[in-house]
Structure 1
Amino acid sequence: MTVETDQSLLAATTQIEAARAGAFPALAVEAFFDEPTNTVSYVIHDPATRQAAVVDSVLDFDAAAGRTSTASADALIAYIEREKLTVEWLLETHAHADHLSAAPYLQRRLGGAIAIGREIVTVQNVFGKIFNFGTEFARDGSEFDRLFDDGDRFSVGGIPAIALHVPGHTPADMAYAIGGAVFTGDTLFMPDYGTARADFPGGDARALYRSIRRLLSLPPETPLYLCHDYKAPGRTTYAWQTTVGEERAHNVHVNDGVTEDDFVAMRTKRDATLSMPKLILPSVQVNMRAGNLPPPDEEGRRYLKLPLNQL
């Protein structure tokens, strides 16, 4: 598909240009950085209606103790209540492998629909086998309130939004163009750090390159809000906001001078040196359930599985 025939991308471009022209209120964005998982969560809202969305929330998890807690999510709640916002959406860019989602906890406290890309069913099928889940795990995405297809439109208050399918890191990755900004999930990192890995089950470096180039076809001034930062060598502060133009000019993995074959070779070689994320096994089995913990046993206890020699 070329840029000229990519109707979803054209619609997102039109929306971003309309936002710059003042066709609707400027999106308010508040970032919350969770240093233990290097994750950035966002509370975004329409200043006119006070309607809001939460992007990629974090449920705190002490892996050594097997204990969850809600300090990170409670910080989001405190901000939302202080700003008198009404939550419409709890958006997930994908089933994260590095942190547990707090979406169900936030939904119980604040409401809102939990949403993710429709290809979460592919992730559920792949990891359902790895975790040896039985037939009680439906593998149809029904744990989520909304499954987005590429190009699906929604809104945050009066601010329009478009879901963009950007597979590669996982089959289910979505970016969200909301007003004049794009929330990229794990697809891109800051220009000095590069791009997401593509070696998880269902990942594809070639698909990742094409997804990134798709996002980088948006107007160069488009703000990009990233999901993670790890401080590139020589940088002493965390950062998570950049632009399409900055990524095209300076991204160390995928700037305008990098071909698809070069990227695939680099990404494949680099991924072979990386260890699995510390929380991938607890995270994925929770996040592919829309952030819900596994069902309790007859005594009310919940257990996470630890499959051996599967990743």
Structure 2
Amino acid sequence: MTLHKTSPSHGPGSAEVTGFYDEDTGSIQYLVSDPETGQGALIDVVMGFDPAHASTDKSGAKEILRFAQQRNIKIEWILDTHPHADHLMASSWLKQQLDAPNAIGDKVKEIAELWRDLYHMPDAFAPEKDFDRLFADGDEFKIGTLPVRVMLTPGHTLGSITYVVGSDAAFVNDTFMQPDVGTARADFPGGSAGELYDSLQDILALGDKTRLFIGHDYGTDDRDEPAWESTVAEQRRDNEHLAGGTSKDAYISEREDRDRTLALPDRMLHVLQMNLRAGQPPEPESDGKSYLKIPLNRFEKES
């Protein structure tokens, strides 16, 4: 059984949120629901991927679907916050299972253009075809009766978005980590530490009691158990990188110094080719198999 925890609704207009921890990637996947109607959405659900064998696995996503079914939650949206570099998204597969629309931020089109060049695949990727909705900053929709507002929160990627759901929940992608860790990296193609700082400040402008649900946690030396929920007030007070009013220049310097020490995720060059297709593999070739293209020496580590 996947480790999961439920953050209960705080009353009318407040979502119930269950986070599911993917141990292989440290990713958190979310089932958010409206207690009034029983309608829900899935956010950033993972399709298992073994880079050693280039094989996929649906067991984790199936477990989340069973959880929703057992609680009579009807999924009406399949959402992602950005094209993930460290895990394969389950968006396309979930759409097939649920007959529900899938969505992501509209700047995925710019990310696709960037990666067409990096992969030298000029005709690859058609986000308008593979996603039913491409959200712009400020777009609104509903999960049951709960209003959802889309915030563009770039930095980790140029197109990362945050979903602000109901009165007191925000799904903040790879911006914040837990307060005892700090914030997410900003060194992937299209990322920017300066833009990430601005996005973090925008999130901190939400109400103090707003629950913030993050994209990743890996534990710490003092905390073995993964965690993924905090509040705006807790992040403002305790965040390792921002507490005490860290200036933008100081943050950029610290973030970029840290990022230079980090290796690329071992799945990145594999999964982005699929995530820019909503998690689908490339079209099968004449033998019926799909193949990935991996650029050699395009991301050489500085010596």
- Alignment TM-score, normalising by the size of structure 2: 0.92
Partner secondary structure for residue 123 of structure 1: helix
2:38 to 47, 50, 69: 50
- In 2 relative to 1, CA 237–206 (structure 1 residues): closer, same or farther, beyond 3 Å? same
Letter matched to residue 66 of structure 1: A
Shift of 1:86: 1.6
CA shift digits 1:246-280 (9 cap, x unpaired) = 11011111224200000000011111111101111
Match of 1:225 in 2: 213
CA shift digits 1:94-129 (9 cap, x unpaired) = 011110001111111112211111111111001111
Match of 1:174 in 2: 161
Check whether the contact 1:87–1:111 (CA below 8 A) recurs between aligned residues: no
Q: Unpaired segments of 5 or more residues in structure 1?
A: 1-18
CA distance in 1, matches of 2:125, 2:275: 14
Match of 1:7 in 2: none
1:235 to 223, 226, 229: 223
Partner secondary structure for residue 171 of structure 2: strand
Q: Calculate the aligned-residue CA RMSD, in Å.
A: 1.4
CA shift digits 1:216-272 (9 cap, x unpaired) = 011111110111101123212111000001110111112242000000000111111
Match of 1:113 in 2: 101
Shift of 1:75: 0.7
Match of 2:278 in 1: 290
CA distance in 1, matches of 2:15, 2:285: 44
Give runs of ≥4 in structure 1 deviating > 6 Å.
none
Shift of 1:138: 4.7
| Residue 148 (structure 2) pairs with residue 161 (structure 1) | yes
| Residue 54 (structure 2) pairs with residue 99 (structure 1) | no
Letter matched to residue 90 of structure 2: A
Letter matched to residue 132 of structure 2: D
- In 2 relative to 1, CA 138–281 (structure 1 residues): closer, same or farther, beyond 3 Å? closer
Match of 1:28 in 2: 16
| Residue 188 (structure 2) pairs with residue 200 (structure 1) | yes
Aligned pair count? 290
Matches within 5 A, 1:127-276: 127-135=115-123, 137-139=124-126, 141-179=128-166, 180-276=168-264
Matched-pair identity in %? 38
- In 2 relative to 1, CA 95–138 (structure 1 residues): closer, same or farther, beyond 3 Å? closer
